[in-house]
Amino acid sequence: MSESIRRRWDESVFQLLCDLTPASSLDDHPQTPTQLDQAALDAISSTSDTWFNKVQSLYNEPHRAYHNWTHAEDVLSSLDFLLQHQTQMDVTPDHVAILTLAAFFHDVIYDPRSSTNEKDSADLFQEFVEEVQAVMSSHLDNPSGQGSVVATEIKSHIASKVTECIIASASHILSSMKANETNDIIVAIFLDADISILGKPSDAYDKYAGCIRKEYSFVEREVYCSKRAEILEGFLPMDAAASTAVTAGGNEEKRHQYVFATEVGRAEWEVDARSNLKREIELLRRGVIPLFEDARL
């Protein structure tokens, strides 16, 4: 286990705790986790340990060839790059916590046969937040940590934004367009980090493509090649000559002009992503799947 990865988890959980800690009944100022006694801190630490191990265990499930712990680590690395080079906002500890927790939880539930992975992952994240809050509240309400605790509504900007990032990853292109329209740089950064593999060197991309096929090995080859090519074509931007496409019903719909949502992502990965996508699509149309035989990340 990488110490830096674990440290990032701990720092993000601490930031979440700060956001979850209720205001003091005496002065309406937020308390901080550092004001909790050692018993409370130990209980929260134990809960955090349990959830970190649970998250890592889920990412290490044997059916995952790409959507595994390595992917989560790669997303964190790409987030670092995007945050370091972006100039659109002043990065705060809350921003880092949101993006880090989203990286840990966005694919925590992954079944290639399911169409609800993102929702299920968001639901599991909510369970994590609820458990952390319950442990903390039990010690704030009753320092001994004993007795029942009345559940309270979770009001956390961090938790809400993490959930938003996870759900947004279910429809990358549409979510990227929305993030740009609303100037939501946090969601834009997360989405770019999640698909940064598309813009990596061709050998890394081909390994990724082979791993995706391994996860979908239950799909008949011809069907896989056709559907995978169709999905990849959805990532490719439209012709630069127009900004809309005509639907079957004759209505115009907006089309994206870039694979990536952020200026930094476009500068770093856009050219290679377009090249990789086009190349795999051409291969798939010929029934060729990159590096499928030895795919494992």
Within 10 angstroms of residue 219's Cβ, the number of other Cβ atoms is 16
**Strand locations in 79-196, DSSP E?**
none
Last residue of a domain, one of 147, 179, 194: 194
Q: Which of 5-9, 78-82, 144-148, 287-291 has the lowest mean pLDDT?
A: 144-148
Same domain, 122 and 8: yes
pLDDT (tens digit, 9 = 90+) per residue, 225-244? 999 999 999 999 976 434 44
Same domain, 109 and 237: no
Give the model's confidence band at 154: pLDDT under 50 very low, under 70 low, under 90 confident, else very high: low
Range of the domain at 40: 1-194
- Burial letters 60-79, b for 16+ CB under 10 A, else e: eeeebbbbbbbbbebbbebb
Separation CA 205–CA 197 (nearest Å): 6
Give the model's confidence band at 38: pLDDT under 50 very low, under 70 low, under 90 confident, else very high: confident
Same domain, 189 and 261: no
Last residue of a domain, one of 157, 176, 194: 194
Same domain, 188 and 293: no
Separation CA 71–CA 88 (nearest Å): 26
Reply yes or no on whether the pLDDT at 252 is more than 60: no
pTM (predicted TM-score)? 0.88
Give the model's confidence band at 33: pLDDT under 50 very low, under 70 low, under 90 confident, else very high: low
Instruction: State how many domains the chain has.
Output: 2
Match 């409370």 to its residue by tokens.
Answer: 40
DSSP assigned state of 30: B
DSSP assigned state of 33: G
pLDDT (tens digit, 9 = 90+) per residue, 207-227? 999 999 999 999 999 999 999
What Rg, from alpha-carbon coordinates, does the chain have?
A: 21
Sign (positive or negative) of CA dihedral 90, 95, 100, 106: negative
Same domain, 237 and 260: yes
Helices 185-194 and 172-181, axial angle in degrees (round to 10):
150
Same domain, 165 and 268: no
Same domain, 175 and 209: no
Last residue of a domain, one of 194, 223, 245: 194
Q: Considering only CA atoms, which of 98, 233, 97 is closest in space to residue 168?
A: 98
Same domain, 184 and 59: yes
Query: What would the two tokens of residue 217 be?
Result: 């090995």
Same domain, 101 and 226: no
Same domain, 41 and 108: yes
Same domain, 14 and 78: yes
Reply yes or no on whether the pLDDT at 28 is more than 80: no
Same domain, 30 and 84: yes
